[in-house]
Amino acid sequence: MTAAAVAVERLRKTFEEAGRGTVVAVDEVSFECRPGEVLGLLGVNGAGKTTTLRMLSTVLRPTSGSATILGHDLVRAPASVRASIGFLSASTALYGRLTPAETLRFFAEVNGVPRAEVNARVDKLLHRFELEAVKHTQVEKLSSGMRQRVSIARTIVHDPRVLIIDEPTVGLDVLAAASLLEAISGLRDEGKAILFSTHIMSEAEKLCDRIAILNEGKILACATLAEHRASVGLHYLEDVFLSYVREAKR
């Protein structure tokens, strides 16, 4: 079996929030993600998906537990972790005053892509995501679907081996969302390890090789869709999900 690109061990995050006191956002979650695999984190809003992914992208520091990405420890080597990943979430916006070409060039350069390779890499991505026609238009003037394509191109411009993608289709129309999911599927085929969080069951069904079901900070189950179906005896993922959540609440 291929070695895990992402290995998470009992990762925990607790917050102190005004009015709510101590909140356990992520409660000792453990999972692995291998190269060429899309691991879905499926859960309702507030289940702990975004917090988990933010910890893995080093934006947040875990309260306890450990995680490695391509062997780099989250806490001890955050810079190496960041150099190994591409992170895309609803909260990672683009610079509105830059054009798509400038955006890709900037992120390639700050991520350490050799200068000689930058232009070729940028041109290739503009072509791949059909952005050539708008490459000199400022990002703030693009449609949301176009912007999301720029975002995904920005995420992979330095060719990271691990992608962390948090609810990327939020606010996109059906066509734009489908196009984005196709792009992510293509990246999986290139051998990238992809952590993909969503609350949309159909996305998880279509895209994910394995699905971890998160509820109130805990992973209730992590398996392939077929294994989940067999485990609870239900066909639709929505029913499977509800079954796990109701079981956990009992």
Tokens of 182: 């196709």
- Check binding of 93 to other proteins (CB under 8 A): yes
Of these, 9, 10, 71, 97, which contacts other proteins (CB under 8 A)?
A: 97
Structure tokens at 54: 């933010």
Q: Per CB under 8 A, does 87 bind other proteins? A: yes
Question: Please, which residue, 44 or 93, has the CB nearer to other proteins?
Answer: 93
CB nearer other proteins, residue 115 or residue 250? 115
Task: Please choose, from the candidates 5, 63, 1, the residue with its C-alpha nearest in 3D space to the C-alpha of residue 190.
Answer: 5
| Choice from 92, 119, 202, 231 touching other proteins (CB under 8 A) | 92
129 is a contact residue toward other proteins (CB under 8 A) = no
The Cα 26–Cα 169 span in angstroms is: 23
Q: Which is nearer to other proteins, 110 or 248 (CB)?
A: 110
**Contacts (Cβ under 8 Å, ≥6 apart) of 220:** 213, 214, 244, 245, 247, 248
Smallest separation, CB 56 to other proteins (Å): 10
Residue entry with tokens 């054009």: 99
When asked if residue 111 is in the footprint of other proteins (CB under 8 A), the reply is yes
Measured from the CB atom, is 96 or 191 closer to other proteins? 96
Question: Could you identify the residue written with the tokens 């969080």?
Answer: 197
CA gap 205, 244 in Å, rounded: 16
> Contact region for other proteins (CB under 8 A) — 107-115, 180-188, 216-224, 233-241?
107-115
Euclidean distance between CA atoms 248 and 250, whole angstroms: 6
Residue whose C-alpha is closest to residue 165's, from 34, 48, 37, 50: 50
Count of residues that bind other proteins according to CB under 8 A: 39
Q: Which residue type occupies 161?
A: R
Q: Give the pairing of strands 85-89 and 162-166.
A: parallel
Residue 246 CB, nearest approach to other proteins (Å): 29
Judged by the rule CB under 8 A, the positions of this chain that interact with other proteins are: 13-17, 22, 25, 54, 57-61, 63, 79, 82-83, 85, 87, 89, 91-98, 102, 106-107, 109-112, 115, 138, 154, 158
